[in-house]
Structure 1
Amino acid sequence: MADTVWTLDSSDGALTVTTGVAGPAAAMGHRLTIAMAWQATVRWADEPVSMELTVDVGSLEVLRGEGGVKGLTGPEKALARSNALKTLEAKRFPHIIFRSDRIAKTDDGYRLTGTLEVHGKAREQVVDLRVDDLGDSWRMSCEAVVRHSDFGVKPYSMMMGAMKVDDEVTVAFSAERAK
C-alpha cells in the first residue's frame, strides 16, 4: 500500500477537557467541560506510522459546569473562558501539540507514544487510541490525564487558593472517518 495521509479536524469529532475542583471550598466550584478546535494529520503505510494533533488554545469554549452552589450562567462561562486563556497564556502559546512516530498496534487500536507540548514545555505522553469498525467508517477515541504542573501551568485559583482548578484534567478525543 502506498503512503496515505489522513487529515481530520473538529468537523470529524470532538476534543474536550474536563476539569476538577480542589481546595477547602471545592464544593462551591464547578467541574468544567471545555471544547477546543483541533486538526490532525495521520500518515499511513499499511499501518499508521506517525500523527500530529494541533489544538487551537484560543478556540477554548466552556460547554458546561457541573456542581457548585448554583448553575453556571453565560457570564460565568465567559469569565471561566477568560481565566483559562490567561492561565494557558493563549496569546504567547496559541497551540497545544501532540506528535507521535512510535505507534504500536494493540488489541483494540493503537498505543501512541509521543511528545505533548503545552505552554511551551514538551513531555512524553502515551495515549491508548481505541479504534472501532463501524462498517463504512472508523471511530477513534481515547482519554488521557494531563497535569498542569507537568507543563509549568499554575491552575486558576480564587479565594486565596481555597478553591482552585485541580492539577489534573482529563482530555477526551473522539472522531469518525469514512473508510
Structure 2
Amino acid sequence: MSSPEITPQEQAELDKALYDALNPLASALRSRASGLPEDRMWDADPVDVTLSVLAAWKVVDTEVKRLTALAAGTAGSYGASYEQMGAAWGITRQGARKKWPEAVSRPATAAAQTNTALELCGGTAELTQEPSSGGWRWAGKGADGTHGAADGGIRYATKEEAAAHAGAFLKEHAVDRFQAGVEPG
C-alpha cells in the first residue's frame, strides 16, 4: 500500500475543516490567556493572535499524534504488520516500529491472552479473548448485583477497548455512585 494522494479539492476541503475546527480552540486559548472575550480575539495585537493560533495548532498536533498511535495500535490488533503500517505512512518497517513500538504485540502465552480480571467500583468483570477471532468480550457483575456483558455479537478489537466498556458498566452499577467518582446530579 502506497501513501495516499489527495486531490486539490480534497486538500481545500481538509484545510477548511481544519481551520473551522481550529478557530474555536484558538479563540478559547486566546481568551484564557488575555482575559478578553472569545469574540474579540482578532482585535488583539497581531503577534498575540498568531501565537494563539500557533498554540492551538500545537494542541491539534498532539491530538493527531495520539489518534495516529491509536489507529496504528488498532491496525496492529487486527494483524497488520509494521511493514504494512510503514507502507501506509510512507516510512520503512523499522521507522514504523520506532514510531509505534507498541502497535504490534508479540504473541504471549495463550493463557495470558485469553482471560483478564477487572475490579472497579466494587464490581468485577472478566475480559476474554476468543481464540477463533482474536476479538475481546467482557462479562461482569456490578457492585449493585447487576450482571452485564458485551452485547450479542460484539467483539472488541483490543483488550483495552473491552476493558473500557466493562469499566463503564461497572461504574454505572456501583453501589455508591459518589464513591465511583460520579458527582451527584
**TM-score (ref. length: structure 1):** 0.19
Which one has more relative contact order, counting CA pairs under 8 Å at least 6 apart?
A: 1
**TM-score (ref. length: structure 2):** 0.19
Structure with the larger helix share: 2
